[in-house]
Amino acid sequence: MPRLNKFRVRIETGDKGMEEPVRFCFNSHRLPLEDVSGGTKTGEVLEGGYEVNSVTHSMTLVGPDKGEWSLKKVTVDFECENTPPYSVEFPAVELDETSEMDIWQDPPLPTFDV
Amino acid sequence: MSFFKTVKNIFSGNSASREKVPTTASEDTPNTSTAPVEEDAPFSEPEPPAMRRVIRVSADTENLFPPDDPDKVLIKAQPSNTGDQCLFMLNRTLFEGHSWWYPTFESAEGSSLAERLFSLDDVETVLVHEATVTVTRKDKSILDWKPLGMEVGTVLRELLEEGGLLISQKIRDEMPSQDDIQNGIQKAINEEVNPGVAGHGGLITLQKIKGNTITIKMGGGCQGCSSADFTLKQGIHGSFRKFVPQVGAIFDETDHAAGMNPYF
């Protein structure tokens, strides 16, 4: 499992916005995003990140405690130890008080042309 | 919530004290996250972790190959983490809707693709799945795939440019229907696989079938078990192929990192 130095997430909210602070769950620890800009109301875009500096077992985006939150697109930029930075883009999903979204993805395996 | 109230609720069966447990689709896995603690209760016990279902969606993948020149055969090699196999991805399909596993040189008879690959030194097995070929090598001590990878790439490119039949007609003609394959695999799971892993608290479920390509999920004691890969390759693969010899690729879509009760 790779050691994640830091990540930055960009969340485009769809037609169901929410007003709670955005939280993520790293290795089952729930944390708020840092260095946040933008918002999560309908149609808004929020950006935030966190300097994790830890080995990653799981990482999720936590749904709101009340109501529903539709995510139009989620883009995560990862900076892991010993691998080049990489980006992952997730399609639309809807979260609520019973759900969280897996946003972790291992660094891509290196390829070469043959 | 106070300790005494919690105990009272447990014995009284008060459901209001329990956390909401999801009753959702099978691809969702329960996860734990820390619940907030009441601030004004100095001797309060933390609430048990809230159970939420984890939604997993496949990330959008960027196009591996630029669409500039579709006639040109483009191949990318991706060695596995363990170095024991290498995945070759092509910009064209080799076996539409199906997959085929060649465990030996003899099994390649009539399939020009596998015959030519087995003629390379060090190729042990070949798996063809739609637009990919996975090769394992005999010498497991060699981790550098570049030399053999270049040879495999040359063979694949030559074959595609020649334009012959890559997969033997016999394999195509004798391919069972998807329903027959599904019934056979379910029988293997029920009669051999699950009774075998039950002793370790494991449970195997058939998730998806496309043509003769199988996707399974490992649950219970198998999820997160350090021997899961060994169980899959040495036990489950063999059992599936015994019940349905025409099974091609077998994928495991288990999120082993989320395993809550691994056997090892």
Of residues A29, A58, A111, nearest to B78 (C-beta):
A111
**CATH value at residue B44:** 3.30.1370.70
Eight-class DSSP state of B261: S
C-alpha A96, offset from chain centre = 15
Phi, psi of B31 (to 5 degrees): -130, 165
Give yes or no for residue A61 having a pLDDT over 90. Answer: yes
Of B163, B138, B158, B160, nearest to B148 by C-alpha is B138
Higher pLDDT, A49 or B60: A49
B234 burial (CB, 10 Å; 0-12 / 13-18 / 19+) is exposed
The C-alpha torsion from B109 through B112 and B115 to B119, rounded to 10°, is: 150
**Domain residue limits at B58:** 24-173
Is residue B79 less than 8 Å (CB to CB) from chain A? yes
* Coil vs helix vs strand at B3: helix
* Together in a domain, B167 and B188: no
How close A104 gets to chain B, by Cα (Å)? 10
Banded model confidence at residue B208, pLDDT cuts 50, 70, 90: very high
The reported pTM is 0.73
| B17 domain residue, yes or no | no
* Together in a domain, B67 and B152: yes
With pLDDT > 90 as the criterion, what percentage of chain B qualifies? 52
Interface test with B, best of A12, A95, A114 (most B CBs within 10 A): A114
Give yes or no for residue B167 having a pLDDT over 60. Answer: yes
Residue finishing a domain among B135, B154, B173: B173
Of residues A29, A58, A114, nearest to B77 (C-beta):
A114
Residues in A closer than 8 angstroms to B58, CB to CB, are 91
Of residues B53, B56, B152, nearest to A98 (C-beta):
B53
Least confident interval from B30-34, B42-46, B117-121, B133-137: B30-34
| B18 domain residue, yes or no | no
* Together in a domain, B134 and B191: no
Distance of alpha carbon B222 from alpha carbon B225, whole angstroms: 5
pLDDT of residue B191: 94
DSSP strand pairing (B85-90 vs B75-79)? antiparallel
* Together in a domain, B128 and B253: no
Is residue B238 less than 8 Å (CB to CB) from chain A? no
**Nearest chain A residue to B30, by CA:** A99
pLDDT of residue B26: 39
* DSSP for A40-97, written as a single string: -STT-EEEEEEEEEEE-S-EEEEPPSSS-EEEEEEEEEEEETTS--EEEEE--EEE-T
The CA-atom distances, in angstroms, between B63 and each of A60, A79, B71, B156, B180 are 26, 22, 16, 21, 34
Residue finishing a domain among B173, B193, B208: B173
* Together in a domain, B59 and B167: yes
pLDDT digits (tens, 9 = 90+) for B54-113: 888 888 766 778 777 778 899 999 999 889 899 999 999 999 999 999 999 999 999 999
Do the beta carbons of residue A60 and residue B31 sit within 8 Å? yes
pLDDT digits (tens, 9 = 90+) for B137-157: 999 999 899 999 999 999 999
**CATH value at residue B240:** 3.30.300.130
Is residue B16 less than 8 Å (CB to CB) from chain A? no
* Together in a domain, B153 and B32: yes
What is the number of domains present in chain B? 2
Whether residue B75 and residue A114 make contact (CB cut-off 8 A), yes or no, is yes
Whether residue A98 and residue B22 make contact (CB cut-off 8 A), yes or no, is yes
* Together in a domain, B81 and B168: yes
How close A66 gets to chain B, by Cα (Å)? 14
* Together in a domain, B206 and B254: yes
Is residue A1 less than 8 Å (CB to CB) from chain B? yes
| B13 domain residue, yes or no | no
Of B22, B47, B19, nearest to B35 by C-alpha is B47
Is residue A3 less than 8 Å (CB to CB) from chain B? no
Neighbours of B106 (CB within 10 A): 8
| B6 domain residue, yes or no | no
Distance of alpha carbon B192 from alpha carbon B208, whole angstroms: 19
- H helical segments located in chain B: 3-12, 112-118, 146-162, 169-173, 178-188, 194-198, 228-230, 237-243
Of residues B32, B55, B146, nearest to A28 (C-beta):
B32
Residues in B closer than 8 angstroms to A99, CB to CB, are 22, 28, 52-55
* Together in a domain, B213 and B109: no
Contacts of residue B178, defined as CB under 8 A and 6 or more positions apart, other chains included, come to B209, B210, B211, B212
* Coil vs helix vs strand at B100: strand
| B38 domain residue, yes or no | yes
How close A95 gets to chain B, by Cα (Å)? 9
Provide Rg for chain A, Cα atoms: 14
Distance of alpha carbon A46 from alpha carbon A40, whole angstroms: 6
pLDDT of residue B49: 55
Banded model confidence at residue B44, pLDDT cuts 50, 70, 90: low
* Together in a domain, B162 and B187: no
Residue finishing a domain among B104, B139, B173: B173
pLDDT digits (tens, 9 = 90+) for B106-115: 999 999 999 9
Summary mean pLDDT of chain B = 82
- Provide the residue type at A93 as one letter: V
How close B180 gets to chain A, by Cα (Å)? 34
Long-range pairs for B115-118 at CB < 8 Å and ≥24 separation?
B116/B155, B116/B158, B116/B159, B117/B152, B117/B155
* Together in a domain, B133 and B194: no
How close B60 gets to chain A, by Cα (Å)? 6
Of residues B22, B57, B257, nearest to A93 (C-beta):
B57
Q: Kindly state the tokens that stand for B74.
A: 């483009």
Cα angle: A103, vertex A105, A108; to 5 degrees: 150
